[in-house]
A and B are shown apart, each in its own frame.
Chain A
Amino acid sequence: KAGVTQTPRYLIKTRGQQVTLSCSPISGHRSVSWYQQTPGQGLQFLFEYFSETQRNKGNFPGRFSGRQFSNSRSEMNVSTLELGDSALYLCASSTRTGESEQYFGPGTRLTVT
């Protein structure tokens, strides 16, 4: 069974631009969660989607948004990029919401200059 895939793997953007990241979950997994990882901050929960509905949201500004499609693939969008948005963005899939065992993709490394 193929693992979680994320595209692109690396991205360089300038301040003020917007970016869209994509995540394809493991086949059969309907829940997709997104996390931001920065040095010293661990993994910060962004949001979780299940069956095309946002089920949970973390404490991030409205510039961060996401969506999920009928095939469970998910995208997250960050608008008006700031330098502080530079991070590794990880998505994880699982069979249900709030699952403790999640399967992570390799992440998208976003650098904002």
Chain B
Amino acid sequence: GQSLEQPSEVTAVEGAIVQINCTYQTSGFYGLSWYQQHDGGAPTFLSYNALDGLEETGRFSSFLSRSDSYGYLLLQELQMKDSASYFCAVTGNTDKLIFGTGTRLQVFP
């Protein structure tokens, strides 16, 4: 089967850096994705890692270690608008996109 674990909640202050971890178990791993969802909104795609290493997109970066079945999303220069839920998701040989339960990020001024 497939399962993912991520912290339920993370808090930080504006301007800080926060890391949201995700560990996964899946058969035939293809890649790890991250999505952002604001309250009342639709999930939006942030990043995808298929290979080990760090992918940077502006203030957001995503990391993957296939050998450790682990990844993280790094948010830098936090802004109030980054307050949202963040989901990691894996794709494997079942061709399904399986989501974690989400991490709620609260950014304080």
Contacts and interface: CB of A to CB of B under 8 A. Distances in A.
Interface of A: 4, 33, 35, 40-45, 48, 55-56, 58, 90, 92, 97-107
Contacts of B99: 35, 42-45
B33 to A, nearest CB: 5
Interface residues of B, number: 21
A70 B42 CA distance: 25
A48 to B, nearest CB: 7
Contacts, number: 58
Interface of B: 30-31, 33, 41-45, 48, 87, 89, 91, 94-102
B91 A42 contact: no
Contact of B97 (A40, A41, A100, A105): A100
Given A40-B101, A42-B101, A43-B87, A101 B33 contact: yes
Given A42-B87, A43-B87, A101-B48, A58 B101 contact: no
A41 B101 CA distance: 5
Contacts of A103: 45
A104 to B, nearest CB: 4
A97 B94 CA distance: 10
A42 B100 contact: yes
A81 B33 CA distance: 32
Nearest to B6: A42
Contacts of B94: 56
A9 B95 CA distance: 28
A92 B97 CA distance: 11
A45 B102 contact: no
Chain A to chain B: the 5 pairs with minimum beta-carbon distance, closest first: A98-B95, A42-B101, A104-B42, A43-B99, A100-B33
Contacts of B41: 106
Contacts of B91: 98-100
Given A33-B97, A42-B99, A100-B91, 7 more contacts: A42-B100, A58-B96, A98-B95, A98-B97, A100-B30, A100-B89, A102-B97
